[in-house]
Amino acid sequence: MDATIIIYYDNINNILLVNNSINCQTKYIKVHYHFLRKMVVTKEIDLVHVCNKNQVVNFFTKVLNV
């Protein structure tokens, strides 16, 4: 089973950072970016942007007006 896993992510800047094959101009890059970059290059995962309004999970994390 060699299917690519699709991960929906709401931060487009982080997606661009992971997909950038050139060394970034950021001062510090966290370890999980290097891990994600490796996974994207080997085509094990694919990061897809999803708008914040379309995330179902946000409904459960916001305060309800009662």
Domain boundaries, the chain: 5-61
pTM assigned to the model: 0.60
Residues counted in the chain:
66
pLDDT per residue of the chain (66 residues) written in tens, 0 to 9: 578 899 888 888 888 888 876 655 566 667 777 788 888 889 899 988 888 777 767 667 766 666
CB 47 within 8 A of CB 10: no
CB 46 within 8 A of CB 3: no
pLDDT reported for residue 28: 65
Calpha distance 26→62 (Å, rounded) = 32
Determine the residue type at 24: C
